Amino acid sequence: MKNSILIFALLITVSSFAQKKNTKALPPKDVFINELMSKMTLEEKLGQLNLPGAGDITTGQAQSSDIGKKIEEGKVGGLFNIKSVAKIKEVQRVAVEKSRLKIPLIFGMDVIHGYETTFPIPLGLSSSWDMPMIEKTARVAATEATADGINWTFSPMVDISRDPRWGRVAEGGGEDPYLGSAISKAMVNGYQNNDLTQTTSMMSCVKHFALYGAPEAGRDYNTVDMSKLKMYNEYFPPYKAAVDAGVGSVMASFNEIDGVPATGNKWLMTDLLRKQWGFRGFVVTDYTGIMEMSEHGMGDMQAVSALAMNAGIEMDMVSEGFLNTLKKSVDEGKVPMQQIDNAVRLILEAKYDLGLFHNPYKNCDEKRAKTEIYTPESKAFARKVAAESMVLLKNDNQLLPLKKSGTIAVVGPLANSRENMGGTWSVATKQDRSNSFLEGLKTVVGEKAKVVFAKGSNLDYDAEFEAKATMFDKGLQRDNRSSKEMINEALDVSKNADVILAVLGESAEMSGECSSRTNLEIPQSQKDLLNELLKTGKPVVLVLFTGRPLVLVEENKSVPAILNVWFPGSEAGLAISDVLFGDVVPSGKLTSTWPRSVGQIPIYYSHKNTGRPLGNSEGKFEKFKSNYIDERNEPLYSFGYGLSYTQFEYSNLKLSSNQLTKNGSITVSVDVKNSGNYDGKEIVQLYTRDLVGSITRPVKELKGFQKIEIKKGETKTITFTLSEEDLKFYNQNLDFVAEPGKFEVFVGTNSDTKNKEEFELVK
């Protein structure tokens, strides 16, 4: 009995000591890290730079697993793709109780557009043009992920892309550097909340640095080649915006830059990122980024690991090149010890800033995991966000909004698939909890309307293609009947319908990583179904799922109404129904140009003029002008395009002055009237054009936008302020300057607006 009491007392003492150890004040960061590093062996330092995947770790086996043993030996600095408080707590215990120096691990995950509460794919989110809302989505994601033990997210992806063949366009904010920068800042602020020590804050990792969104042929991981001018003026701004917002980490891209892979590019990682931009966090490779440099032709594992370290990479994801080769490179004088010490310091500083040395288990509270993930409040917010992100592409004769009455036929392979609602990179989503379009529609209409359903077609005629397009448990339960049987069933259920909702497009994994496409049309099986539905003479609404701009020339001609819903997330069916029935008036606008054909790509609004521009706006061919003989120049849908159920009229564009002086500003104002029958939101967009420059300048550049709510019949005066800073660009010497001269300013509903005034910048 006495022994039992003594053991119990010792346990209480040990427990109390552990709690005090986790909560006591630590020395200042520099002092603490200097002292810790003085105790570290080279092997332990290299361990801090090693980021393996969670691999074989399962609950109850952390210490005995292969990675668990490496953690105990001090050979792991962090883990990624491990989920749940129970698993993470167990693994962290190995690090802080079993390893010699008891350095906590950092835990990362691809929390891209929500955690278990899933928001629209990032391209969809960007179409809301609502920065406070976008920031809040990151805040909700951070709250949920940190409640599940995760403290580092590989997000946001801010790669500018003007090639929709590239599947990862789904993960970004579109084609424009100004809008992309605003989104980048909002996401970083949402994740980090300006204080990484908070239990609901997680470290953000901006990616993919750099230029990953411009691969040749639109093929993922492919070569990128562009001028420095294009880099600085068009592709770098969103990365820099993240750095300026205080992002804690940066992820290197797979592509090469000026002949050197980004993972080993010292100009990019040291000269630009650190010396020019002042980045103070750490850089992590993408998955196996170091070992992949060997395939680029940069040398064996030791050579490429040394190249990456000397370039300014601090953490090695999966390759284990740092762990296994850098000691030899140090011994051979190929890598300075100071370079490794700098890298280790940055990793330890990040852990200190996250509060992990104060409390390694700060994100391991089971109560939070039970009460802060997938809450009714976050689900309601996800429904709102999804509705705000949808883009009405066509609405002839005001077919939409629909009435909650009569018979509604729902047809299409994507209509009843919960698994595809979250879209690509929804790794934490519990797909079975999402509501499909059909389920959401039935919930919203209730007993007011009859809903009938038929699948109508498979995703694609080619079963092998469909298998590739429905990976990661996002299958569509392929129907083995003939296409004629499936179409006949769809026609049969539709014969008594008042309206047909054709739910078509891409599956979730037709876009995303390694989902490049050369054909950007809706698959032929679905086009054939749609054409048969149109032949019925009944009103047809195309409810379009996609992770990229598609080629919709045929559909735009033949279908009376098209609602692009992207992949809306957890509350997909409810949110789509909210818009279809007018409970939410659509307000989203495109952040990427939609081409008329693949042959126009790359196509984007802020292009340069040629010396022989086309002389008409009707698309008529002119010999010896810059045009095609088989296609018009302009896109199908322009950047910034999106319709509403109401109409907005612009008038009275004014400038406060026709001259802008150094350190001065001018006010741009415009009246916007809601002349339709619904209250609605309009995204007012301001563009400028630099008419004469030392280098050629784009025909238009976005310089401001406001999303405003205007009641029907109401007129609001919208104002913008322009300063010299807004007119700056990188010149031929890569100096950031605003040059004196004349400028045009445009304000309107999309990038095609002709509503303009002129002013002069004088110095």
In whole angstroms, what is the distance from residue 698 CA to residue 233 CA?
10
pLDDT at residue 64, rounded to an integer = 59
pLDDT at residue 74, rounded to an integer = 97
Q: What is the dihedral of CA 440, 442, 448, 451, to 10 degrees?
A: 130
Residue 166 near residue 211, CB atoms below 8 Å: no
Q: Mind telling me the catalytic residues?
A: 286
Which residues of the chain are under the pLDDT cut of 50?
1-22
Q: Which residue has the tokens 């976008």?
A: 134
In whole angstroms, what is the distance from residue 203 CA to residue 250 CA?
10
pLDDT at residue 396, rounded to an integer = 98
pLDDT at residue 2, rounded to an integer = 38
Q: If we measure between CA atoms, which residue out of 633, 632, 705, 640 comes closest to residue 668?
A: 705
Q: How far apart are the first and last CA of the chain?
A: 90
What does DSSP assign to residue 402? P
3-state secondary structure of 654: strand
pLDDT at residue 25, rounded to an integer = 87
104: which 2 tokens? 């906590």
**Tens digit of each residue's pLDDT (9 = 90 or more) over 720-737:** 999 999 999 999 999 999
Sign of the C-alpha dihedral computed for residues 513, 514, 517 and 523 taken in this order: negative
Q: Where are the beta strands (DSSP E) in 210-332?
A: 249-252, 256-257, 260-261, 282-284, 316-317
Q: Which residues of 731-763 are buried (b: 16+ CB within 10 A; e: fewer)?
A: beeeeeebbebebebbbbbbbbbeeebebebee
In whole angstroms, what is the distance from residue 155 CA to residue 172 CA?
10
User: Whole-number mean pLDDT of the chain?
Assistant: 95
3-state secondary structure of 660: strand
Residue 590 near residue 635, CB atoms below 8 Å: no
Residue 249 near residue 204, CB atoms below 8 Å: yes
What's the pTM value of the predicted model, to 2 decimals?
0.95
